[in-house]
Amino acid sequence: MKSTTPVVLITGAAHRLGAHTARHLHQRGWNLVIHYRSRESDANSLCDELNDIRRESAVAIQADLASAGQTGSLANKAVSAWGRLDGLVNNASVFYPNPTTEATADDWATIMDTNLRAPFFLGQACLPALQESRGAIVNLIDIYSQRPLADHPLYCASKSGLASLTLSWAKDLAPEVRVNGVSPGAILWPEGDAAMDDNHQRSILAKTPLARTGTPEDVAGAVAFFLCDAPFVTGQILAVDGGRSLNM
């Protein structure tokens, strides 16, 4: 039986911004489809947390978005969970430096497949359900889509492409589906191979008019605005960056 509660699929929702967005939307009354690639334990823990608050309100689904054959399966499982889909948040992303002289075909495939190809084909697969519910898509972009970060040409190109896709979809999928984007600035510092040293972090904050990092709730609130509170808004990309894009 189809649920009367709205349902959102969030990619890369097991940790960081995706997990914060999941918790925020859950508080707003949504059921959650938590996508993960390799963080099974984190995804299941988040599901348990949300289901303890409200029974049968969250499920976790694994998929490798870099694999062309798995986006359709993810969409089908997401819709089947409660018989409907009202929102898609394309949050999953790959970020690491790859200077032009060192970038490989594997780098191209990894970054473009995850950051651009997967949102397109996942959106395509989810489209019938979103059209039926007159739902919405929110793409997580990046302020570097407008003014690129040095030594990240593939990442910046992928996010620029996602920004363009957001605007194209807003035109093409109307009036049934609204499509908007959120472009975070300094919210959570990158981890792993993409980690920035203290000097780099300070240089970013020096160019940020609000002179601090934002919080994950700032981004989660922006996503919730587009999904829940903006029925007459489509084709917009909101920078959540403390004013950083003024000084890039």
Convert the pLDDT of each residue in 48-73 to its tens digit. 999 999 999 999 999 999 888 899 99
> Is the pLDDT confidence value at 12 over 80?
yes
pLDDT on residue 203: 80
Q: What is the pTM of this model?
A: 0.94
User: What backbone torsions phi and psi does residue 9 show, to the nearest 5 degrees?
Assistant: -100, 125
Under the phi-then-psi rule, with left for phi > 0, alpha for psi from -120 to 50, and beta for the rest, what region is 71? alpha
Residues 6+ apart with CB under 8 A from 244: 143, 185, 186, 204, 207, 208, 209
- Looking at every residue in the chain, the average pLDDT score rounds to 93
- Going by pLDDT thresholds of 50, 70 and 90, the confidence category of residue 17 is very high
Whether 155 is catalytic = yes
pLDDT digits (tens, 9 = 90+) for 160-197: 999 999 999 999 999 999 999 999 987 866 666 555 66
Domain 7-241: state its class: alpha beta
Domain boundaries, the chain: 7-241
